[in-house]
A and B are shown apart, each in its own frame.
Chain A
């Protein structure tokens, strides 16, 4: 990459991508409202929420929360920037795990039962989606012969044709990462509040804003991973992302939250079966 390209990649990764995801989240809430025959908030609502949280009084039960929220953001941002710099996929995945781990550790610093339960559920979510993401990345490796992102862009055919089942597996991981039903067990958006918002319970005010922004970066990363499945044309890419996200919203609105046992079982059994079939087909087909 030339230095101009690196500069552009940095701008895109650091600013444009999270802004786009902010808008996307707004559209998500709007579409959800329509599905529930409501009108819904303005498209820019997520930005208002963040700005409001930024302007609130800082109030913490343990100041390590501030430390951890910042490292969550750092991990998420670094992983996105690495993606835009076309680094190694497996490495990007491990870097984003840094963020998730610090989110959990932050929630665990406060001896509040809600926060503790949320932290553990978040850990269970992590072990549910981590193997799936690694397998998707391995699938990409088997299809392209390299873990580097540039190898995907060198493909002549969209990856989706080679990895249809792994795309579904990535869908499961995406649902967990987006905190959408039926996998919204550690913390959810919108009105569910049985566990007072789980892992987010003790993050408040500006620190909650940081955590939300970090979550946007995480969504950027996973959408980027999705976009690799149709890397050959912009139209295909946008269509794929749009349809996938719409299906996510549909699933979110038509399913109810399940238990962590069900989540772990589904994610591992379906995910690994699909991955194995797809990988074997790729390897021997």
Chain B
């Protein structure tokens, strides 16, 4: 049975991608996308009923390994070809080096090691498959009406949707493979496929900017790929195995192996767009919004942090681990600061992604069971909420033709449903009792013994509140004039939004149950060197050694507060509104305007503080990138 599920999760998307690429018919494409989404979602949920198990599988009775090797080279040669046609030296060198090294690896790799226990279904993998398949499917469904709109807007003669959806679905398959595989060689293959997919998606619109940014994404991720390959080669030569579980079981004794592990982590940093590699993820904004949503929430960047969590036992309790935590925490703070200075909605989301991934990496670096649990919580909640916010921004952008948050001022009066969902989404990022905050709380409590780390986390946490609260408030800045009517949207736009916000709230509510069924089994079996007591739950209260978080009681209190607030809202709605205070100079015709010079009515304009002198990209980019670079060198040095 797991064989079948695995086949659906990993191989079916590849087949569906071929189909989507061939299909030119809109409704058939829709049917195929929906069918794939349903299949993926169903299988990812069905996977939860299976025990943890490592096993090999065959593809229609054949060993898939040779096919993977073949495809691996195909991917690398495509990247090489891209580099050659764009005359991008860096990409040519990186791809060339990878081809040579991969050939070496295939020649010298321990043959008996590949092919046995190729896949591993454990709770961490189940969580990741859930994130990839469910959130990814929702994004792909939302993309159907979005891309139709998008292409109408661009006046294309031939639709480029077949390529787009083919790559999107392929991406999901590659991510599922990446998190399920237990073979480091195959891990590398899926890693490269995601690199290629992201390149294709970013350059989708074929504008000059898109092309330039996609090449940047390609070379940065190829750099990561090269690091991964070197690490892989090193490990396979030293340990004689590429089985991830065996590597993890061996490494505590083989401390000299930290450097190759460090190279793997370096690959994770590039993939997760950590400072100073954030530029590729920011450049990815030029792509259609579903692409950004996919890259930021369910796929790609999550591959990077997954790598950190997966390999955390290999470096837990070392100096290297402490530096990993510092690298992550520094990115958490610096990216959050950079987010303050932005007014472009997608850029804020991008920096927020970088920042939150930094927090997850910091958790992996702290490396106690509680910290790993925090990291897993953060991965799940971040995926759901970030996908939601990107889809919201995409929907808003198609309506108001801007992604600047200043233009979203008073959006509640224009599209109340989307605006309210976005506000709630932003609040789930920063407030209890929601999951992101639960994760942040666990992270801070788990790292409280490391003073430098906790200072950075404290600052980052405060800065995060600023840019979210500012954005949430701004949606609601509107002159109150009476009843506002819900906007109309296609069902495939609205349902994903409702689904994701419901998921964000419900998953937060069920956080204790999720902890018991998924996270506890993971962290209680991980061979971590730094061990504190494993947190437990009772009566919906998450109890750690250092403190406790009453998830469900807090939800009940929040519900009470919400009911009272809604009652107040209703009562206040009955009173006739007055205009805002404008020093008495209110215009008689429009109470939101004031009478200015020459008796003109003028609408007062305010805009946010962006603190550019302190947090602007031009002010701090150089400093934070340099610091991050130094920290990463320190991290790799810690591996020696």
**A62 B465 Cβ-Cβ under 8 A:** no
Query: In the complex where A104-B469, A276-B455 touch, is A74 in contact with B561 (Cβ < 8 A)?
Result: yes
Q: Which residues of A contact B437 (CB under 8 A)?
A: 94
**A60 B578 Cβ-Cβ under 8 A:** yes
Contact among B455, B459, B560, B581 with A202 in the assembled complex (CB-CB below 8 Å): B581
The CA-CA distance from A63 to B448 in the complex, in Å, is: 42
Q: Interface with A: B155-163, B185-193, B473-481, which one?
A: B473-481
The CA-CA distance from A59 to B454 in the complex, in Å, is: 45
The CA-CA distance from A89 to B462 in the complex, in Å, is: 16
Contact among A110, A120, A130, A142 with B608 in the assembled complex (CB-CB below 8 Å): A120
Q: Does A231 contact B (CB under 8 A)?
A: no
Query: In the complex where A62-B577, A146-B547 touch, is A134 in contact with B461 (Cβ < 8 A)?
Result: yes
**A112 B581 Cβ-Cβ under 8 A:** yes
Query: In the complex where A71-B561, A101-B465, A108-B474 touch, is A120 in contact with B455 (Cβ < 8 A)?
Result: no
Q: Which residues of B contact A253 (CB under 8 A)?
A: none
Q: Which residues of A contact B554 (CB under 8 A)?
A: 78, 95
The CA-CA distance from A239 to B444 in the complex, in Å, is: 32
Contact among A58, A98, A115, A207 with B580 in the assembled complex (CB-CB below 8 Å): A115
Q: Interface with A: B25-33, B345-353, B568-576, which one?
A: B568-576
Distance in angstroms from B354 CB to nearest chain A CB is: 19
Q: Does B451 contact A (CB under 8 A)?
A: yes
Q: Which residues of A contact B476 (CB under 8 A)?
A: 62, 64, 105, 108-109
Q: Does B432 contact A (CB under 8 A)?
A: yes
The CA-CA distance from A154 to B466 in the complex, in Å, is: 36
The CA-CA distance from A62 to B604 in the complex, in Å, is: 17
Query: In the complex where A63-B569, A63-B573, A147-B445 touch, is A202 in contact with B547 (Cβ < 8 A)?
Result: no
Interface of chain B, main secondary structure: helix
Contact among A60, A88, A120 with B572 in the assembled complex (CB-CB below 8 Å): A60
Which size class do A's interface residues fall under? 35 or more
Distance in angstroms from A112 CB to nearest chain B CB is: 3
The CA-CA distance from A280 to B449 in the complex, in Å, is: 11
Distance in angstroms from A101 CB to nearest chain B CB is: 5
Which size class do B's interface residues fall under? 35 or more
**Residues in B450-497 with C-beta less than 8 Å from chain A:** 451, 454-455, 457-459, 461-463, 465-466, 469-470, 472-474, 476-480
Q: Which residues of A contact B458 (CB under 8 A)?
A: 130-131, 134-135, 138
Contact among A78, A88, A135, A196 with B548 in the assembled complex (CB-CB below 8 Å): A88
The CA-CA distance from A62 to B473 in the complex, in Å, is: 13
**A61 B431 Cβ-Cβ under 8 A:** no
Q: A60-B577, A280-B451 are in contact. List 17 more A-B contacts (CB 8 A).
A: A58-B575, A61-B480, A64-B476, A66-B569, A78-B557, A87-B548, A90-B445, A97-B430, A105-B473, A111-B580, A112-B604, A113-B604, A120-B609, A126-B465, A127-B466, A130-B462, A142-B451
Give residues in B with beta carbon < 8 Å to A: 409-410, 423, 427, 430-432, 437, 441, 444-445, 448-449, 451, 454-455, 457-459, 461-463, 465-466, 469-470, 472-474, 476-480, 546-550, 554, 557-558, 560-562, 564-566, 568-569, 571-573, 575, 577-582, 592, 604, 606, 608-609, 614
13 contacts between A and B (CB under 8 A): A61-B580, A63-B572, A64-B569, A66-B565, A67-B572, A88-B445, A88-B549, A108-B476, A111-B478, A131-B458, A141-B546, A148-B547, A276-B451
Closest 7 CB pairs of A and B: A108-B473, A74-B561, A112-B580, A147-B547, A130-B462, A66-B572, A88-B547
